[in-house]
Structure 1
Amino acid sequence: MDDKNNTTKTITTITDQLNSLRSILQSDDYVQIQPSGDYEQVRIKLDYDIQISFHFDSLSILNKPLTINNVHDLRITKSSNKCQLNNEQWTNIRKYFDKLIQNQNESFSLLSIVQSIQDHLLKNIITNQKSKQKTKKPMETTTIEDVSTMSNKFRGADLIFNRIQHDKSIDRSQVIIGYEDRFTGIYEIAFNEFKKVHEHEYGVPMHRIRYFKINECIVWDRTRKLDILTGSEQQNGSPYDTEERSILVQGLYHFDQSLQQWIIQYPHITLTSDNPKVPSTNDTCLPERCHIVTWNILFDYYQSALIHTSQRYRSILDTLKSLLPDIICLQEVTYNFLNLLLNEIWLQENNYYIIIMKNVIDSGKEKLYGQLMIMKNFRPRSFSICPLDLSDNDEETAVATTVTKQKISKELLIARFGLNTKATIDLVNLHLHSDLSRNASGKRCQTLENFFKKMKTSNYMLIGDFNFGDNNLREQNILALYENKVHDLWKDVYNLDQNPGYTYDPSTNLCAHITSQSQINRRLDRYLIHTLDNVSYSIEHLSMIGIEKIPIDPLNINNNQLINQSDHYALQLIINFRTRSISHRSALVILPTLNTRSFIRSYSKEYYPSAGLWPSHFNLLWPFFDLIDCQNDQEDILLRLRLLLSQYPSFSIKINEIDSFIENNIIYMKMNDESTKYVRQLHEQLIKLFPQCLRDKRSSCYNPHMTIGQFDNEEKFNEAKSSLILHESFEFPVEYIYVLQRPHDNDTTPFHIAYQLPLGPVLQPINFKQINSVHIKLQEFFQTMNLYETNQSYKRKQEKFEKLSSCFQQMFNKDTLHCFTTSFLPYGSYRIGINGQDLDTVFVLNELKSTNNKTSFDESLLQLKHDSNVLNNHVVNLLETQINGNLKDEIIFYRKVQALFSIISILFNDQTKVEIYVQIKINNEKPSEDSIHGVQDIERLVTYVRCPPIFQHLLTFIRTWAQHVGLYEQVYGYLGGYSWAILCAYICHTYLPSMKSLSSIEQFSIDELFLLVRQFFSTFANFNWSSQAFRLYPKSFKQMNLLEKSSVHNRGSMRIISPSPPYNNTGRATINSTRDLIIQGFQRVLQLLDTINTISPEDKLNALKKILELNNDFPNEKVKSLVQLTFSSENSNELDEWIGWMKSRLAYFVNACEKECHLVIQTQSSIEYKSNNTEALYSIGFQLDPQTLIQHQNFSNCLKKFVDQFDLCLNRKKSMKISYKIFSIHDWKLERMQAKTQRTTQ
């Protein structure tokens, strides 16, 4: 449309005229209208962040043309400080605009003004830039402004379209547009028939235009960077060269749809400059469900004739297009690939940002390659690109953002994103040294060490090509040191024996076969994630992609010439991040005991409307963490909480007054001063542990109270206050703290008990008529079946623990030690509050960081700390001195056991046996926090089971059954106490119904126990023990390398994984034969339950009795012969040591019989002592007759080696003897009948 016609044609509405303006601009959004007093303000955005603005009265010019005369305050301004024009250029534009207004009449249209300004910018500014660029000297680096200016040199399709549309010298009937159709490729259409997106439902986006033709001659071509129409000359060289001149510096780039160019956003935003207190915005946060792909794409100048780069790169880009991940981490990227990538429409259309390393930009010059990180719909808060090889002393290198002038072949890319407004995570795209590098293994180990030691945040994820496999022991040992905090996601999801995850597989990958020198399959690519603070994650999907071969000649797919996309397979991960929220639907509270409930209710039922939603309680922390039953909750909240509570013994709360909060009309029951002081101390420690639960200053003024009345107004408040008087104080014990929760989607649902957490280091032992325990009928059943530990037995253990603790405190205390702390703690059955044979304890010596004011005792210990064995023996000798000096008269014998660890074993006069495990923790010996032996093992179960009293009852029942039927390990071959505890914990956690209130616990009945017991045997009778490992959480299991598989901690045919690092097998004493016997034991109970009625409560009680009445069937019906070992000595002390030596050697013999001799075995579960306690028997059953067994050469050799081991016992005395016999089953039973009266079973 020409100017003349434009000024005379009648335009009916303002809307039509504004749409005409939009049609000549790059986007509809470039015309913005907003109210401004009595007028409407219009802002028209032009190139270079320039805008034309004016005001108009929409009522007065409703049917008038939009001309100079009909608008007010017409001006041209810079729309932001990002305007890319220099002062000279801006002055030129201002003068041109002013002259344009002055020289035109009042009917000159605004449409013509806008077009004239655009044309002036197009012709004069670009010409000015070109002349200046010719006079510029080449520079090594380019600033942000330089890159931005250069990126504006080539005009976009929309501006060319507008130029053709409004240029009267161009015959539009001779113009052809070539655009890219998504499905059919390049399609040509006449200019006059072309429709934009806003003009037609099938309109074409401007960025799909590839070229313009006039009279069959191409005048503008996006790919070739050809622009004849505006005076630009066709560029020489390849498209790669052209693009390289627009991407000259490393940094963060984003595609500008208006300019149709990749524009640098920032060359860097250093991690050190990122203020963690500034909340993340939506455009810097990862999506909660995050889709990530990492891929080493194989650089293009290695064996180029064989790897067919062009076909591979095209296929890689197509694969990424089909996935559109949220984050793409690429390694071995060169500029050739970058150029192809930047021209991908899917990348330009889907709001991707790209961090480009300088090594990628310079790859064509120096044969380098580097990494890219590509992000969809979000950008990093900050990012750094720094050398991969960090020195030990260079703590600041990890935040470097520029590369020094010396040549650096490898770098890493660290980008920080928000997980929410407060939490962040650092994603690291790395490519460690390959084996072709000198000292590659040492460099990789050093890089990993530097990462784990120097990262300033706990929230980070390492992604990329690590260049070592699972059999590279040096690197794997580094990872093993940090396994408690850094998780290998592939190993969390898969069993490496079943899915080794070889991302570099020369046996199947044709590219890898070409590039590999060793032809060894390896898992080189990984995702490692550090344990996140206040954020949990779950793996939705993890797999290898890019594993299919592609044809080398796409037009001839039948010639069998194929290639892989890269020598590495890609790893696709979908991970769900969940911020650990603090919710008013969760509270940490003290609950009064049930026997006080009716009394409290008599006060609150009339005046407290929320009493139906809340049980009567004292808040300790509210709001509290929203727990979702994941391992992160267990480790980061519940375990830490329980370890704190273990330092606070149970106490009593005395209520002696009713008081009120006048400001909010609340009446409450108040504790006495002593109780208040204790609860406040506990609250202070809880706040230190979880400071995020302290939301405001008001909550810091903690006043423990139990609400009994809440009122809408002061009148009702005063009326009730006068009638609510406590006439008599009352008291209740506090043995547990409770986590209350209710669903998010229903505010009318009452709070329920999510977790019951005990106070004090030791759980209250279960016993008859115990409060806060289970139904009285169930307690009576346990009492009748002698399942409870007697008070005398428990008190004996308690007394021994207190005496030992006191005598150790005399030597190891704050006065004698300033550089060390010590603790003496129980673990095992005593800590968990059930009847056990021994009292298991641990003595811990822990070095402190500070070494000021050393005592002489400190000095003596510090001198020995560099030799752990010497220090360990010294501490054991000191403990022995203390024990003998204080308790010598109470001890029958004392023995030091030096095996895999130091143990002091003591037998007291009253037959109480105590074992003391000695653990020494030297400062900085390990990077992660060491757990205390046995303690965290128990505490993880206590928090996991949700309700300790019910767990204690189930475990007591199952342990008793296992002992009765000979499946409880006291010698070798079966499951020990901790294995049975793990299995029972799983049943409680998984199948225990929701605890609506304290009544749910105290009314836990025989029926409910029966259901748990049945579920126990059903679950584990049907578990696939031969091929699966049992674990409480998938992430609490670490795949082992070859060295670890042979470790004594990880043997065993039943794999019951400890929930505590290093996740050893608690069932390591089992062999195939005993595993099958244990499974048969489970099945035997199920068969029993199938044959009896289990409908009524009496039936279920009877069924539970029958389960406990099942007998030990050693030897079973398949055993035909037995090897019987006889041990004798002068006294019981020597005999006990002699049997201990046998146990330490029995594992090798039993395993050799099964693996080398291929024999099926049944081991006896306990030692048989003769009545004089100086002789004992132990038997092993075999399914061969005696004659065949004796003639079995391998067996004879194994038996001889086993017996010869007894000659190696250093403490053996002449009186300590051993002999053996091989019996038939008939002769063995006959001998037992004859000697029955001489033998007792211990």
Structure 2
Amino acid sequence: MLGTSVARFKGVTEPVSTATPTAAELRLTRTLEECLHANNLYPSREEQRQRLNVLGALNAVVVEWVRRVALAQRLSEDVVEEHGARIFTFGSYRLGVNGPGADVDTLCVVPRFVERNRYFFGLPDEQGSRAPTQVVLADMLRQDDRTEELVTVESAYVPVIKIRFMGVDMDLLCAPIALMKIPKNFNILDDAVLRNVDDATQRSLNGVRVTDSILELVPDVDTFRTTLRCIKFWAKRRGIYSNVLGYLGGVAWAMLVARVCQLYPNATAAVVLSAFFRLYSQWQWPKPVKLCPIIRHQHAGLRQLKVWDPTDPRDRRHLMPIITPAYPSMNSTYNVTHSTLRIMMEEFARGQQICADVLAAAGSDGTGVSPRDWERLLEPSDFFARYKHYLQIEITAGNMDDLKKWRGHVESRLRLLVQRLEVLPPVSVHPWPEADERGTSVFFYFGLRLETDKIAREEGTKRARIDLNSPVESWLSTPDPRDTRSVPVLHWPERTPDMLVHVTPLKRAQLPESLRVQRKRPAETDPSAAAAPAALQVVTKKSRSTPDGASASLLRAPTET
């Protein structure tokens, strides 16, 4: 069950302010909402109705699927109709902040006799036997005329079917729970649903449980949604929206916003937005952000699940803990690195200053601000004009299907490259989460801030040397030191000889023309881009051979300033 400190407020502390909105604050929020609408962040009513129709149609397919599985297992006809299934949404759609064209995260909760591998994906059992296609959900959906695309990802951390159904992209998860039938009054927030489930089912249920818990723990859902919609758009524009690359994903941003809503339960969205930046620009990480007390009890008959614990050496290493509110409480941001935390703190400070300027310009009646004034907060990042040096990571494959799989593997390990680079004392790393796709290649870019003067002084030379080759080689060929079970980039079992990674240092002038933006002079944003007496030489190797003989380029010919 959800926890709150006391009945009269939501959260782990008393609110900072319970003041009701002034006329100026209401006016400010209207201008903020107009700005969000002008940026096309709201789906149309027609699109919302279409999503409801799609979910209804999908629910009918899932109910029929469970009925067929029950009959295949020779359950009586009378009993079959009672088993049922439930469809739940989670993520941005459930939170009510999805934009036009956004996908819908969906969970199927089914009785225990519906085995995920056998009946959801159609995988063979230990004897190599497969279930008939008419009782496999993936096959039923493939044969449905309303299905446009379908990909199964059975080996993912959270096993999923990715599908485009009736024109809507969906991620479909499956959670068989320890019940013979799913009752109509089924409560997914009851911890008892976790009894006797496997780890994949627990993680699948967790998406819905966390999303629903957040909605229960915010004092005003409309204010929360308006603020979160703005924060998500801001984070994407500023290049800090990516759980994989070490920034924050949607759930983490939602929890940060929800906590501010708890502290200002009666405030308007404009006030909550300003408080958001003021609070987190000063937050003393790794102090955790929590929406409710961490629950450590053991439900009767429920195995004790691992919860986040700051006294645990592994959890104590987390740099920016944001703790999920549903049992078992976990840190949603364990991927954050020193580099990405520094960048996010810089963006919080920028947001705080802009919001302060907007509020100051509003005047006592709020008439001094228009929707255009909020646009400064939402300006795109000048990442490709900010640095003099960049690192280009090119991911290539022989065809688009292979590229999709290979990209997923490499992208999931890019944060480990960030960690290896940031231990070089004179180098600051800024990973950019948006990929540049060109044919059967995908490119990622890291900005590098290099303290050339410091390096030259320490070496007593005019030419500073930085060896980027060692961290890149380590990233390509050795496991994550914190998880020796992880697979190094080039040792992925599914890798083919034409799946390659090329890592190349570039000057800003060498970036593709499509990426270069001239928002500011480089010297104004990156101290290393100013004229410096010391020249820089990036020490590299041209290539190395992988164990299977394929060539994977590391860092190409030396670059000098």
Same fold flag (TM > 0.5): yes
Map of 1:1191 onto structure 2: 467
Aligned equivalents of 1:1157 and 1:900: distance in 2?
34
Question: Which residue is 1:1022 aligned to?
Answer: 282
Q: By how many angstroms is 1:973 displaced?
A: 1.6
1:796-815 counterparts in 2 under 5 A?
Answer: 796-813=50-67
1:84-483 counterparts in 2 under 5 A? none
**3-state DSSP of counterpart to 2:143:** helix
Deviation at 1:1021, TM superposition (A): 0.8
1:267 is aligned to: none
Instruction: Return the letter of the residue paired with 1:881.
Output: D
Which amino acid in 2 is paired with 1:1105?
W
2:93 aligns to what?
830
Cα distance change of structure 1 residues 1142 and 1036 upon mapping to structure 2, 3 Å threshold: same
Partner of 1:1177: 443
Among 1062, 1077, 1089, which residue is 2:343 paired with?
Answer: 1077
Please name the residue that 1:1154 is paired with: 422
| Whole-angstrom CA distance in 2 between matches of 1:1084 and 1:870 | 59
> Which of 309, 313, 316 is the equivalent residue of 1:1040?
309
Are the equivalent residues in 1 in contact too, given 2:308–2:329 (CA < 8 A)? Answer: no
What's the counterpart of residue 915 of structure 1?
171
**Distance change (3 Å), C-alpha of 1:781 and 1:980:** same
Q: Does 1:629 align with 2:9?
A: yes
Three-state SS of the structure 1 residue aligned to 2:229 is helix
Q: Deviation of residue 780 (structure 1)?
A: 4.2
* Per-residue CA distance 1:127-157 (angstroms, 9 max, x = gap): xxxxxxxxxxxxxxxxxxxxxxxxxxxxxxx
Return the TM-score normalized by structure 2: 0.66
CA distance in 1, matches of 2:219, 2:432: 35
Quote the residue 2:248 is aligned against: 975
Stretches of structure 1 lacking an aligned partner (at least 5 in a row): 1-483, 486-530, 539-577, 579-626, 633-751, 755-773, 849-856, 995-1007, 1235-1242
CA gap 1:1208/1:904 in 2 versus in 1, 3 angstroms: farther
TM-score normalised by L of structure 1: 0.32
Describe the SS at the equivalent of 2:271. helix
Describe the SS at the equivalent of 2:394: strand
Cα distance in structure 2, aligned partners of 1:962 and 1:1010: 17
Per-residue deviation, 1:974: 0.8
Q: Give the corresponding residue for 1:963.
A: 236
SS of 2:335 mapped into structure 1: coil
SS of the counterpart of 1:1183?
strand
The 3 A distance-change label for structure 1 pair 895 and 1138 is farther
State the partner residue of 2:504. 1221
Instruction: Determine the structure 2 residue equivalent to 1:903.
Output: 160
- Give the RMSD, CA atoms, in angstroms: 4.4
- Seen in structure 2, the aligned counterparts of structure 1 residues 784 and 1230 have a Cα distance that, compared at 3 Å, is closer
Counterpart contact for 2:393–2:445, Cα < 8 Å: yes
Distance in structure 1 (CA, Å) of the matches to 2:249 and 2:224: 17
Of structures 1 and 2, the one scoring higher in RCO (CA 8 A, sep 6+) is 2
Change (3 A) 1:939 1:787: same
Deviation at 1:1221, TM superposition (A): 1.5
The alignment status of 1:886 with 2:154, answered yes or no, reads: no
Change (3 A) 1:1190 1:906: farther
Instruction: State the Cα deviation string for residues 411-459 of structure 1 (Å, max 9, x = none).
Output: xxxxxxxxxxxxxxxxxxxxxxxxxxxxxxxxxxxxxxxxxxxxxxxxx
SS of equivalent to 1:1080:
helix
* Within-5 A mapping of 1:580-599: none
Shift in Å at residue 1151 of structure 1? 2.7
1:534-554: CA deviations, max 9, x gaps? Answer: xx9x7xxxxxxxxxxxxxxxx
Q: Report the Cα distance in structure 2 between the residues aligned to 1:916 and 1:1060, rounded to whole angstroms.
A: 21
Is residue 1054–residue 1068 contact of structure 1 (8 Å, CA) maintained in 2? yes
Q: Quick check: 2:242–2:249 contact (8 Å CA) kept in 1? A: yes
- Matched to 2:63, the amino acid is Q
Inter-partner Cα distance in structure 2 for 1:1035 and 1:1200: 38
**CA distance in 1: counterparts of 2:502 and 2:132, whole angstroms:** 37
The residue type paired with residue 982 of structure 1 is M
1:1099 shift after superposition:
3.0
Cα separation, partners in 2 of 1:1139 and 1:780, compared to 1, 3 Å: same
d(CA) in 2 for partners of 1:977, 1:1013: 16
Q: Match for residue 1105 of structure 1?
A: 374
Does the 8 Å contact 1:846/1:923 carry over to 2?
yes
Cα distance per residue 1:854-883 (max 9 Å; x no partner): xxx89x989xxxx99999x98999221222
Contact kept in structure 2, 1:1156 and 1:1194, CA below 8 Å: no
- Corresponding residue for 2:221? 948
Give the Cα separation in 1 of the matches to 2:379 and 2:212.
32
**Cα distance in 2, alignment partners of residues 1156 and 843 from structure 1:** 46
Displacement of 1:1153 in angstroms is 3.0
1:1121-1173 deviation digits (Å, cap 9, x = unpaired): 32212234465544332321122222333333335888532111221223x5x
2:108 aligned partner: 843
Distance in 1 between residues matched to 2:44 and 2:127, nearest whole Å: 41
CA distance in 1 between partners of 2:516 and 2:413 (Å): 29
**Aligned counterparts, 1:384-783, within 5 A:** 627-629=7-9, 780-783=34-37
Q: Gaps spanning 5+ residues in structure 2: where?
A: 13-17, 21-27, 181-189, 195-201, 297-306, 453-462, 480-486, 518-561
SS in 2 for 1:892: strand
Structure 1 letter corresponding to 2:55? F
Aligned to 2:207: 934
Question: What is the DSSP-based 3-state SS (H/G/I as helix, E as strand, rest coil) of the residue aligned with 2:161?
Answer: strand
Shift of 1:1113: 3.0
Letter of the 1:1022 partner, please give it: Q
- The SS at the match of 1:1097 is coil
1:1200 aligns with 2:476: yes
Partner Cα separation in structure 1 for residue 284 and residue 443 of structure 2: 34
**1-structure distance, mates of 2:322, 2:153:** 29
1:503 aligns to what? none
Work out which of the two has the higher radius of gyration on C-alpha atoms and give 1 or 2: 1
- Superposed CA offset, 1:743-793 (max 9, x none): xxxxxxxxx9x9xxxxxxxxxxxxxxxxxxx98776544322322123454
Task: Quickly say closer, same or farther: Cα 1:942–1:868, change in 2 above 3 A.
Answer: farther
1:1061/1:796 CA distance change after superposition, 3 Å: same
Change (3 A) 1:835 1:1132: farther
1:1013 maps to which residue? 273
Distance 2:126 2:385 in 1: 45
Residues 991/630 of structure 1: CA separation in 2 closer, same or farther (3 Å cut): closer
The 1:1180/1:1202 distance shift into structure 2, 3 A limit, reads farther
| 1:1146 and 1:1202 in contact (8 A); partners too | no
For 1:1219, the aligned partner's letter is H
State the alpha-carbon separation in 1 of the partners of residues 206 and 308 from structure 2: 22
Mapped contact 2:245–2:412 kept (Cα < 8 A): no
Q: What percentage of residue pairs aligned between the two structures are identical?
A: 19
**Alpha carbons 1:841, 1:916 under 8 Å: kept:** yes
- Asked if structure 1 preserves the Cα contact closer than 8 Å seen for 2:391 and 2:503, the reply is yes
Cα separation, 1, equivalents of 2:159 and 2:465: 38
Question: Matched residues in 1 for 2:448 and 2:362: separation?
Answer: 37
| Deviation readout 1:12-35 (Å, 9 max, x if unpaired) | xxxxxxxxxxxxxxxxxxxxxxxx
Q: Secondary structure at the match of 2:162?
A: strand
Amino acid at match of 1:1110: E
SS of corresponding position for 1:786: coil
| Whole-Å separation in 2 of the counterparts to 1:1189 and 1:1063 | 46
- CA, structure 1 residues 870+1182, in 2 after alignment: closer, same or farther (shift >3 Å)? farther
Task: Give the Cα–Cα distance (whole angstroms) in 2 for the partners of residues 1149 and 1141 of structure 1.
Answer: 13
- String of CA shifts for 1:170-202, please: whole Å, max 9, x gaps: xxxxxxxxxxxxxxxxxxxxxxxxxxxxxxxxx
Closer, same or farther in 2 for the Cα pair 1:869/1:992, shift >3 Å? Answer: farther
Provide the rounded CA distance (Å) in 1 between the counterparts of 2:219 and 2:143. Answer: 43
The amino acid that maps onto 2:232 is R
- Partners of 2:239 and 2:432 in 1: CA distance: 7
Aligned to 2:409: 1141
Say if 1:1220 and 1:800 are closer, same or farther in 2 by CA, change over 3 A: farther
Q: From the superposition, tell whether residues 970 and 1228 of structure 1 become closer, same or farther in structure 2 (CA, over 3 Å).
A: farther
